[in-house]
């Protein structure tokens, strides 16, 4: 059941959804600069609609974070883009290629890491990569060099001879990353790549993703670790109940939601009077006294961080620490979603 | 005032039955099962009525059907026993392993359910569906009862014995479910153990009258009561026939209780055993044995595994080089393990000189043939479902490999296994050739003709086996690919292939006709073409059609030689041999065609089976971005 003809089957809902933040869409074909384009995407399993009219554009070279509660439709969207979902309605393009009509070409330009890492117990890491290099049709003569490169990039060279089954979860995830880099894809679809990893493995994964970002890869990543996405993504999309409820850069989303920035400060001279003066600084919405610091909630659209700093000094605070929280995505997430799951 | 509960609360049984009722499959299986049983019963009824009317003279025609129920009833109950024996192990083998596979057994242990609760509620949850299936046949039994000739005692003893047959086989299935960690292993073990129990009681004469055995002895075969401790005791007690039936089932009750007790004992001890492949353990044992053997022989290496990487066929490479049933070293050991006993049996049969040796070798042929088909069916049905359950399929499907290539390579990877399993068949066919051939007269024209015929038989038999393995492989791949778990794919494949094999056997119900044909063939009154056409038409629906045609051809060829020896005539007289050759060629061609159709259909449905869009036709072939990744990366 395709499909393209049915793309406008649910126009009312589609319009409503795309109002979540995507620009107005006219042309359904991808442009040279667009890595991923979704138009009114619907994925249904029987009577249940997992994805309800998601539309978005992801330019090349962007790292797009896909956030949403479990069952929100993230993995279904990923499966469509990874050519693993035969039945859907709407349009899905990867690098201008239609996922349904040109799945072979899409597979050439896309690498997909699913949210689980099934292992071939019987292979070593090297055999595993050779297996997938052959499956990706990497020319035989180039295979060794390509595999050496991806092993180096993912810091897995020392584990080349180890059975896949014996690797730690973090290493398996890095091996999965090595696998999808074998055919040098332009677009990477990473479904929960940091899920279940320990802090060290998570940091290593983040470094690897940063390296790939610097290489100009377009990355579509879903994760539950919001702070991590905040550090990595250029744009994010928040999905709930199969609909895109917000989409844009972090700052755009904060502005739209009027989300407050949290700033931790420590002063040498804490007292009630100073606290009152700080509360009086324009833009300060709240001040919470914690064990060793104050946590200030700031309307950043009214007062910039620099102005706050100046205001604090002017109020007589002798600052020993001024630490704005990098992101407050949890707040944004909680504000945008209502915790409804299917 | 608290009112005491009349029935104990059975949360596990309630959950199981709720789950069962929520599945559409339950109703489909029940309807299909009931339809099959009812069809067979109607077939039996039709055959019995026809037989009675044929036997009766014209004046007795109206009375011929009186009391037919008495002759029909034991056959129908026997059919129900067979249904219970086939279905019950499959129903119960997953009862506990499913909890292990879902990691939910531990949560059951921390509830207030004690082990006996778990075992008995699991037993109940599997018994109820089986009993409801049997209940569906009761209207038929009532109808047969109304035909007359069935006593009330027969009716009650049938119900009693069927109930205990269910309990016995359910307890065997539960025991296997408690022991093994996967449903597939428990499934295989449940049938092996059930078969072993039947074999012990029916063939070895062990004094454990299982209910179906009692029914066959007393009601079907009308055998006299055997003397023995139990029979002597019953004679001394001088009880009625119904009480005798009940008392005769006491050993079965004890055995079923023993199996349930073992299940309860193993429930905790085997609850968290790690998943280890049964095949892997067998190979490890074999490895140990062969390594010790190799040490004694001085380290002779006949087949060494090559360390290699895949070229253009990664999926076939992995199946061939990395799977237990693909690696040359392991397969060579399997070959030795099967081939040595087969060779020994073949040589024994060949030199025994007894008239029964021909039948013995045919039994061996069908045994090995059955094992081969079973192994191919299990392996082929799990080719995709294994990838699915181990969550490796998505990664594989997101590569450039096409759906058709993937399925093709999976079957190609099985080729070694098929070759290894075909080798004992090769030995058996060779033995048959040597047994039937008269190579002393090879220098004569007739002798050369005979050798030619034997060579024809040999090639056709091997071709038929090869085709059959491929047919089963493609069919099972088709059946098993959509299954979400290995257990489901194996169950489905074994049910279909096993069902086909069982139906093939039931088609053989005209064995008597065949025998009559053989008896009358010298009288020249039989139109051999008609017989051959009828036989070939039946073979078209039989799983062993081509194998059977080859055996028939060999028999006719040897009969022709015997006739030549007796009458001094030469080959070519009459058209019987020619008809057999044509029938053999037709059957080989039919099975070859079926395997090609199965392959074509499976590949055509590949997108549906793998649930992934097929790659578009591309003039540039498989693409790989040929720019040097390393250069760009640096």
Q: Which of A99-108, A291-300, B2-11 has the lowest mean pLDDT?
A: B2-11
Question: Using a CB-CB distance cutoff of 8 angstroms, which residues of chain A are in contact with residue B609?
Answer: none
The overall average pLDDT reported for chain A is 81
Query: Do residues B110 and B209 both lie within one domain?
Result: yes
| Helices of type H across A114-186 | 125-135, 140-153, 169-181
Q: For residue B217, what is the DSSP state?
A: I
Distance of residue A24 Cα from the nearest chain B Cα, in angstroms: 29
Classify domain A2-248 at the CATH class level.
alpha beta
Query: Do residues B131 and B225 both lie within one domain?
Result: yes
Q: How large is the average pLDDT for residues A18-28?
A: 38
Contact B623 A105 (CB under 8 A): yes
Query: Do residues B449 and B530 both lie within one domain?
Result: yes
Distance of residue B303 Cα from the nearest chain A Cα, in angstroms: 20
Encoded tokens for A272: 């009630």
Residues 6+ apart with CB under 8 A from B215: B74, B77, B78, B81, B158, B161
Q: What H or E segment, with its residue span, contains residue A247?
A: strand A243-248
Query: Do residues B258 and B386 both lie within one domain?
Result: no
pLDDT above 90 covers a percentage of chain B that reads 13
* Beta-strand pair A235-240/A218-222: unpaired
Question: Using a CB-CB distance cutoff of 8 angstroms, which residues of chain A are in contact with residue B322?
Answer: 120, 122-123, 127
Q: What are phi and psi of B356, to 5 degrees?
A: -80, -10
Q: How large is the average pLDDT for residues B30-39?
A: 81
Contact A181 B629 (CB under 8 A): yes
> Are the CB atoms for B174 and B259 separated by under 8 Å?
yes
> Are the CB atoms for B186 and B177 separated by under 8 Å?
yes
B429 pLDDT tier (thresholds 50, 70, 90): confident
pLDDT at B599: 93
pLDDT at B553: 83
Within-domain flag for B307: no
Query: Do residues B236 and B324 both lie within one domain?
Result: no
- Cα–Cα distance between B28 and B129 in angstroms, integer? 13
A28 pLDDT tier (thresholds 50, 70, 90): very low
Q: How large is the average pLDDT for residues B61-87?
A: 81
Domain region containing B251? 11-269
Residues 6+ apart with CB under 8 A from B228: B207
Domain residue limits, chain A: 2-248, 259-336
pLDDT at B316: 87
Q: Is the pLDDT of residue B313 over 80?
A: yes
Q: Is the pLDDT of residue B605 over 80?
A: yes
Query: Do residues B207 and B346 both lie within one domain?
Result: no
> Model ipTM?
0.73
- Cα–Cα distance between B251 and B253 in angstroms, integer? 5
Contact B390 A118 (CB under 8 A): yes
Beta bridge partners of A262: A297
Q: Which among A339, A32, A31, A26 is positioned nearest to A40, based on CA atoms?
A: A26
Q: What H or E segment, with its residue span, contains residue B117?
A: helix B115-136
Q: What are phi and psi of A79, to 5 degrees?
A: -65, -35
Query: Do residues B393 and B259 both lie within one domain?
Result: no
pLDDT at B90: 85
Q: Which of A187-201, A243-257, A278-292, B585-599 has the lowest mean pLDDT?
A: A243-257
Beta-carbon count within 10 A of B218 CB? 21
Q: Which of A276-280, B423-427, B433-437 has the lowest mean pLDDT?
A: B433-437
B-chain residue closest to A149, CA distance: B630
The overall average pLDDT reported for chain B is 78
pLDDT at A299: 83
Q: Is the pLDDT of residue B512 over 50?
A: no
Encoded tokens for B9: 């609360």
pLDDT 10s digits, A302-329: 888 899 999 999 999 999 999 887 656 6
Query: Do residues B36 and B155 both lie within one domain?
Result: yes
Q: Which among A118, A122, A172, A126 is positioned nearest to A151, based on CA atoms?
A: A126
Contact B322 A84 (CB under 8 A): no
Query: Do residues B256 and B196 both lie within one domain?
Result: yes
Please check whether residue A99 touches B, CB under 8 A.
yes
Give the CA angle between residues B476, B195, B277 to the nearest 5°: 55
Q: How large is the average pLDDT for residues B80-85?
A: 88
Query: Do residues B257 and B382 both lie within one domain?
Result: no
Domain closes at, from B269, B302, B322: B269
pLDDT at B128: 92
B177 pLDDT tier (thresholds 50, 70, 90): very high
Interface test with A, best of B322, B629, B631 (most A CBs within 10 A): B629
Within-domain flag for B296: no
Secondary structure (H, E, C), B554-575: HHHHHHHHHHHHHHCCCCCCCC
Contact A86 B623 (CB under 8 A): no
- Cα–Cα distance between B95 and B178 in angstroms, integer? 8
Within-domain flag for B76: yes
Residues 6+ apart with CB under 8 A from A243: A17, A20, A52, A53, A54, A73
Equal CATH topology for A2-248 and A259-336? no
Q: How large is the average pLDDT for residues B244-268?
A: 89
Say whether B405 sits in a helix, a strand or coil: helix
Q: Is the pLDDT of residue A86 over 80?
A: yes
> Are the CB atoms for B389 and B483 separated by under 8 Å?
no
Query: Do residues B222 and B351 both lie within one domain?
Result: no
Q: For residue A137, what is the DSSP state?
A: T
- Cα–Cα distance between B199 and B194 in angstroms, integer? 8
pLDDT at B123: 94
**Token pair 């009577």 in the structure block, residue:** A47
Residues 6+ apart with CB under 8 A from A228: A194, A202, A206
Beta bridge partners of A287: A296
Q: Which of A82-86, B2-6, B382-386 has the lowest mean pLDDT?
A: B2-6
A-chain residue closest to B319, CA distance: A122
Inter-axis angle of helices B328-352 and B415-436, nearest 10: 10
Q: Is the pLDDT of residue B327 over 70?
A: no
pLDDT at B441: 59
Say whether A61 sits in a helix, a strand or coil: coil
Question: Using a CB-CB distance cutoff of 8 angstroms, which residues of chain B are in contact with residue A136?
Answer: 399-400, 624
**Token pair 């004679």 in the structure block, residue:** B235
Interface test with A, best of B386, B398, B404, B611 (most A CBs within 10 A): B398
Within-domain flag for B306: no
Q: How large is the average pLDDT for residues B161-172?
A: 94
Sign for the CA dihedral angle at A313, A331, A74, A135 comes to positive
Within-domain flag for B622: no
> Are the CB atoms for A89 and A41 separated by under 8 Å?
yes
CATH 3.20.20.210 is held by the domain A259-336: no
Higher pLDDT among residues A261 and A56, named by residue: A56
Query: From the list B323, B400, B614, which residue is nearest A135 (CB)?
Result: B400
Q: What H or E segment, with its residue span, contains residue A97?
A: strand A97-98
Sign for the CA dihedral angle at B290, B296, B302, B306 comes to positive
Question: Using a CB-CB distance cutoff of 8 angstroms, which residues of chain A are in contact with residue B399?
Answer: 107, 132, 135-136, 183
CA-CA-CA-CA dihedral for B118, B119, B122, B123, to nearest 10: -150
Contact B622 A103 (CB under 8 A): no
* Beta-strand pair A261-267/A97-98: unpaired
Q: How large is the average pLDDT for residues B431-436?
A: 80
pLDDT at A328: 61
B421 pLDDT tier (thresholds 50, 70, 90): confident
Q: How many CB pairs under 8 A join A and B?
A: 137
Within-domain flag for B99: yes
Residues 6+ apart with CB under 8 A from A314: none
Q: How large is the average pLDDT for residues A237-255?
A: 82
pLDDT at B534: 76
Interface test with B, best of A131, A154, A163, A188 (most B CBs within 10 A): A131
Q: Is the pLDDT of residue A275 over 50?
A: yes
A231 pLDDT tier (thresholds 50, 70, 90): confident
Query: From the list A102, A134, A180, which residue is nearest B311 (CB)?
Result: A134
Query: From the list B396, B624, B627, which residue is nearest A137 (CB)?
Result: B624
Count the domains in chain B. 2
Query: Do residues B320 and B265 both lie within one domain?
Result: no
Q: How large is the average pLDDT for residues B121-129?
A: 93
**Token pair 């794919």 in the structure block, residue:** B489
pLDDT at B621: 43
How would you class B36 by CB atoms within 10 Å of its CB: exposed for 0-12, middle for 13-18, buried for 19 or more?
Answer: middle
């Amino acid at each position: 059941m395709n499909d393209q003809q049915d793309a406008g089957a649910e126009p009312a809902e589609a319009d409503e959804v795309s109002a979540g933040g995507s620009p107005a869409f006219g042309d359904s074909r991808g442009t040279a600069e667009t890595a991923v384009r979704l138009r009114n995407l619907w994925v249904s399993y029987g009577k249940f609609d997992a994805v309800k009219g998601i539309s978005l554009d992801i330019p090349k070279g962007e790292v797009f974070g896909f956030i949403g509660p479990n069952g929100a439709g993230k993995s279904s969207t990923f499966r469509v883009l990874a050519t693993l979902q035969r039945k859907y309605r709407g349009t899905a393009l990867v690098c201008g290629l239609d996922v349904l009509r040109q799945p072979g070409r899409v597979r050439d330009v896309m690498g997909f890491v699913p949210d689980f890492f099934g292992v071939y117990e019987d292979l070593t890491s090297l055999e595993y990569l050779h297996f997938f290099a052959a499956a990706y049709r990497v020319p035989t003569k180039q295979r060794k060099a390509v595999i050496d490169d991806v092993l180096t990039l993912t810091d897995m060279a020392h584990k080349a001879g180890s059975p896949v089954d014996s690797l730690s979860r973090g290493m398996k995830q890095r091996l999965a990353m090595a696998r999808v880099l074998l055919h040098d894809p332009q677009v990477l679809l990473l479904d929960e790549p940091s899920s279940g990893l320990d802090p060290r493995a998570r940091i290593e994964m983040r470094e690897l993703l940063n390296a790939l970002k610097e290489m100009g890869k377009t990355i579509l990543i879903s994760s539950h670790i919001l702070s991590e996405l905040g550090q990595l993504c250029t744009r994010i999309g928040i999905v709930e109940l199969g609909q895109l409820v917000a989409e844009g850069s972090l700052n755009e989303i904060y502005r739209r939601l009027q989300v407050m920035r949290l700033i931790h400060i420590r002063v040498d001279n804490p007292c009630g009077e100073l606290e009152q003066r700080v509360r009086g600084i324009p833009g300060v919405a709240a001040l919470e006294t914690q064990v060793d610091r104050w946590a200030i909630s700031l309307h950043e659209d009214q007062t910039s961080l620099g102005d706050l700093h100046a205001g604090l000094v002017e109020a007589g605070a002798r600052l020993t620490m001024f630490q704005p929280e990098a992101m407050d995505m949890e707040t944004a997430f909680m504000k945008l979603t209502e915790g409804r799951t299917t | 005032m608290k009112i005491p509960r009349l029935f104990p609360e059975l949360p596990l049984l309630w959950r199981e039955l709720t789950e069962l009722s929520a599945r559409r499959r339950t109703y489909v299986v029940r309807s299909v099962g009931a339809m099959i049983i009812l069809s067979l019963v109607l077939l039996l009824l039709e055959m019995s009525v026809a037989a009675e009317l044929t036997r009766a003279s014209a004046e007795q025609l109206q009375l011929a059907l009186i009391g037919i129920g008495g002759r029909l009833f034991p056959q129908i109950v026997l059919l129900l026993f067979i249904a219970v024996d086939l279905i019950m192990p499959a129903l119960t083998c997953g009862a506990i392993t499913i909890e292990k596979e879902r990691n939910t057994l531990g949560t059951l242990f921390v509830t207030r359910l004690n082990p006996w609760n778990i075992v008995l509620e699991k037993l109940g949850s599997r018994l109820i569906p089986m009993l409801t299936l049997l209940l569906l046949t009761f209207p038929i039994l009532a109808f047969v009862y109304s035909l007359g000739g069935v006593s009330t005692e027969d009716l009650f003893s049938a119900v009693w014995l069927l109930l205990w047959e269910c309990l016995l086989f359910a307890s065997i299935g539960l025991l296997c479910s408690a022991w093994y960690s996967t449903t597939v292993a428990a499934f295989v073990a449940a049938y092996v153990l059930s078969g072993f129990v039947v074999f012990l009681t029916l063939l070895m004469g062990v004094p454990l009258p299982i209910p179906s055995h009692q029914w066959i002895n007393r009601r079907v075969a009308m055998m006299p009561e055997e003397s023995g401790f139990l029979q002597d005791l019953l004679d001394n007690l001088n009880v009625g026939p119904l009480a005798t039936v009940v008392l005769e089932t006491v050993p079965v009750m004890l055995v079923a209780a023993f199996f349930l007790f073992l299940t309860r004992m193993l429930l905790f001890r085997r609850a968290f055993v790690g998943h280890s492949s049964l095949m892997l353990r067998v190979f490890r044992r074999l490895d140990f044995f062969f390594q010790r053997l190799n040490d004694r022989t001085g380290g002779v290496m006949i087949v060494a595994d090559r360390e290699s990487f895949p070229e253009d066929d990664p999926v076939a490479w992995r199946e061939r080089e990395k799977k237990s049933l693909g690696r040359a070293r392991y397969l060579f050991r399997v070959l030795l393990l099967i081939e040595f006993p087969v060779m020994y049996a073949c040589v024994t049969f060949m030199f025994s000189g007894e008239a029964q040796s021909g039948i013995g070798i045919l039994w061996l042929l069908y045994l090995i043939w059955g094992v081969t088909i079973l192994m191919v069916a299990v392996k082929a049905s799990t080719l995709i479902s294994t990838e699915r359950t181990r969550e490796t399929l998505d990664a594989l499907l997101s590569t450039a490999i096409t759906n058709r290539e993937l399925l093709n390579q999976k079957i190609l990877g099985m080729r070694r296994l098929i070759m290894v399993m075909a080798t004992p068949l090769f030995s058996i066919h060779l033995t048959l050739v040597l047994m039937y051939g008269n190579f002393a007269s090879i220098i004569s024209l007739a002798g050369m003709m005979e050798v030619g015929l034997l060579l024809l038989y040999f090639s056709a038999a091997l071709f038929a086996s090869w085709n059959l393995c491929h047919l089963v492989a493609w069919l099972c791949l088709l059946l098993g690919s959509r299954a979400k778990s290995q257990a489901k794919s194996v169950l489905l494949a074994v049910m279909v292939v096993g069902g086909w094999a069982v139906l093939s056997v039931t088609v053989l119900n005209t064995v008597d006709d065949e025998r009559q044909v053989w008896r009358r063939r010298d009288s020249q009154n039989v139109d051999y073409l008609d017989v051959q056409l009828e036989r070939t038409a039946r073979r078209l629906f039989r799983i062993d059609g081509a194998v059977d045609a080859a055996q028939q051809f060999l028999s006719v060829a040897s009969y022709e030689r015997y006739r030549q020896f007796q009458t001094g005539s030469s080959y070519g007289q009459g058209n019987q041999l020619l008809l057999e050759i044509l029938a053999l060629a037709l059957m080989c061609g039919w099975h070859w065609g079926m395997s090609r159709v199965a392959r074509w259909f499976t590949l055509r449905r590949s997108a549906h089976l793998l649930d992934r869009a097929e790659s578009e036709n591309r003039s540039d072939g498989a693409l790989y971005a040929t720019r040097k990744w390393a250069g760009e990366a640096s």
